[in-house]
Amino acid sequence: MATTKTAKARTSYVCTECGWTSPKWLGQCRECRAWGTLEEFVEPAPGGIGSPGRVPVAAAAVRPAVAARPIAEVSAEEARARPTGVGELDRVLGGGVVPGAVALLAGEPGVGKSTLLLDVAAKAAATSRERGQGPVLYVTGEESASQVRLRAERIGAIDPALLLAAETELGALLGHVQDAAPSLLVVDSIQTIASAQVEGGAGGVTQVRAVASALIQVAKERAIPVLLVGHVTKDGGIAGPRVLEHLVDVVCQFEGDRHARLRLLRAVKNRYGPTDEVGCFDLGERGIVGLADPSGLFLSAARSEVPGTCATVTLEGRRPMPVEIQALVAGTAAGSPRRTTSGVDHSRVAMALAVLAARLRVDTSTTDVYVSTVGGARAVEPATDLAVAIAVVSAAQNLPTPPGLVAFGEVGLTGEVRATVGVQRRLAEAARLGFDRAIVPLAGSEELRDVDGMRVLPVAHLSEAIGAALPRS
């Protein structure tokens, strides 16, 4: 009689950096080229009895618990976004958190993820208490409850409806959810939670996948919005298997220089709202505060005429952001002049210097050139080329730009000023901040609407822009 064999579990190796799968262990991932990142992942054995590799039998049909209904009869109220009390976060999420939605917030260590979500939890707890809803449950796996309490006191995030639990085991976390019946669940972070029913340590591929699946199931069954904190890799990507980003409903990136106060929140994926909104936050000693108008961080407080400055307006998604470009041209003491940039694209600055030298005879080959933004802002889109060029010429010729001037446009290698997107929104934001003169590309300017208090100067070539910005040059 033939011996019956049971199907064996299949073992594969998954890269913790990019999620690439290999049937055998390798020292280097062939997808992202990272070393030592492949971890063992044991897939469950296929159902049924037979020889290995047998295709499992399809699941039998069962009667659904809820019959299918016409889409017009399905209520949309359960999927309405609820404000969290933090306006900038609601802007990025599309109005607030959706019941049953799972959002992943990723960012570098020290950027302020825990501080932001603790403030969100406290404000949401106050709102839930006023409306008679359930409390907010904050689960921390990286810090003790006492450490979180100290941070809450510092930022003013104490509320009787905010429950705090320090857990690293998935079963205990689900028990807290069952007992508290929260209206919002915050988990900091998903890489610190592990399940006793799954092999591997916390943060591994198998554990992260299992924990995320369990939390998503609880969120959908109980209609609880869940906010997860995720770690990032050395390249800035979200740590863990790539499938984690596909499982959750919303993926947000929290960015910012740890030496600056500005923090930006971007939605990389959002099933319930736009992905081109940006939230601005100011991280200080007393916590994190949303900035509905961040112009104070990006523009210099000095209003005197100083050579080497030019304001521009960048677009972060759909949001116009004012940025001041500063340039300094100084004599060099070394044989090779320096080109130092901060907050701007280094390659585009080098291209602007080459265009100035070839087309306008502004030679900086024997001088050091420093180009920077104010307040740690990032101005890397091509529309900032014109402001960079004007700032450099202003510094090189020691001619200050007139007050109230703003410029935006892409500069080509032949010196032409190319059209850019969102000119109307940039002009409206500049006028709101008090700027009264704008240098814009000639292409597309005929479609612009008049902006009160703003004089628009369309230019087709870089030489025209320099003449309009520095009339004495």
Residue 49: its pLDDT value, please?
40
Mean pLDDT score, 266-284: 87
Contact 406, 435 (CB under 8 A): yes
Percent pLDDT > 70 in the chain is 90
Q: Confidence class of residue 473 from pLDDT cuts 50, 70 and 90?
A: very low
Tokens of 291: 């900035």
Tell the residue number behind the tokens 């099933």, with chain if given. Answer: 271
Check whether 181 has a pLDDT greater than 90: yes
Strand 278-284 to strand 287-290: parallel, antiparallel, or no bridges (unpaired)? antiparallel
**444 labelled ligand-binding:** no
**What pLDDT, on the 0 to 100 scale, is given for residue 56?**
46
pLDDT at 51 over 50: no
pLDDT in tens, 402-419: 889 999 999 999 999 999
Nearest to 32 by CA among 295, 233, 296: 233
User: How is residue 451 written in tokens?
Assistant: 């902006």
Structure tokens at 233: 């890799």
Residue type, 44: P
Q: Is 135 annotated as a binding residue?
A: no
φ, ψ of residue 315 in degrees (nearest 5): -115, 115
Q: Mean pLDDT throughout 381-396?
A: 96
User: Could you tell me if 195 and 213 are in contact, meaning their C-beta atoms sit under 8 angstroms apart?
Assistant: no
Q: pLDDT by residue (tens digit) across 287-346?
A: 888 888 877 777 775 555 789 999 999 998 788 989 999 999 998 877 789 999 999 999
State the residue for tokens 């005879």. Answer: 361
What is the rounded CA–CA span in Å between residue 161 and residue 147? 19
Lowest mean pLDDT segment, chosen from 68-72, 256-260, 445-449? 256-260
List pLDDT tens digits, range 119-162: 999 999 999 998 888 999 999 998 999 999 999 999 999 999 99
pLDDT in tens, 416-426: 999 999 999 99
pLDDT in tens, 29-50: 888 888 888 888 776 555 444 4
The pLDDT of residue 236 is 53
3 state DSSP class of 76: coil
Q: Amino acid identity, residue 76? A: A
The answer to whether the CB of 124 falls within 8 A of the CB of 136 is yes
Is the pLDDT at 26 greater than 80? The verdict is yes
- pLDDT, mean over the chain: 86
Q: Is the pLDDT reported for residue 173 higher than 50? A: yes
473 burial (CB, 10 Å; 0-12 / 13-18 / 19+) is middle
Within 13 Å, how many C-alpha atoms sit on residue 367's CB side?
Answer: 18
Torsion over CA: 154, 159, 160, 165 (sign)? negative
347 is in an annotated binding site: no
As a whole number of angstroms, the distance between CA 37 and CA 25 comes to: 10
pLDDT in tens, 437-456: 999 999 989 999 999 999 99
Residue 1 confidence (pLDDT) above 90:
no
pTM: 0.73
DSSP sequence for 134-189? --EEEEESSS-HHHHHHHHHHHT---TTEEEEE--BHHHHHHHHHHH--SEEEEE-
pLDDT band at 250 (very low <50, low <70, confident <90, very high): very high
Annotated ligand binding at 110? The verdict is yes
How many CB atoms within 10 Å of residue 214?
18
Unique residue bearing structure tokens 């809803």: 133
pLDDT of residue 233: 59
DSSP H/E element including 406: strand 405-407
Closest CA to 114 of 248, 288, 292, 249: 288
As a whole number of angstroms, the distance between CA 275 and CA 271 comes to 9
Instruction: Please give the structure tokens belonging to residue 18.
Output: 């990019």
108 is in an annotated binding site: yes
pLDDT at site 442: 95
CB 251 within 8 A of CB 245: yes
Closest CA to 147 of 126, 161, 163, 164: 164
Quick one: how far is CA 287 from the chain centroid? 19
Is 324 annotated as a binding-site member? Answer: no
Cβ contact 112:283 at 8 Å:
yes
Cβ-contact 308, 394 below 8 angstroms: yes
Identify any residues that bridge with 406 across adjacent strands, giving them in sequence order: 311, 438
pLDDT band for 52, please (50, 70, 90 cuts).
very low
Between CA 198 and CA 201, with CA 200 as vertex, the angle to 5 degrees is 115
**What is the tens place of the pLDDT at every residue in 197-236?**
887 778 777 788 889 999 999 999 999 999 999 876 555 5
Q: Pick the most confident of 18-32, 59-73, 139-153.
A: 139-153
- CA–CA distance, 176 with 169 (Å, rounded to integer): 11
Whether the predicted pLDDT of 22 surpasses 90: no
What is the rounded CA–CA span in Å between residue 369 and residue 326? 11
Q: Tell whether the model's pLDDT for residue 8 goes beyond 60.
A: no
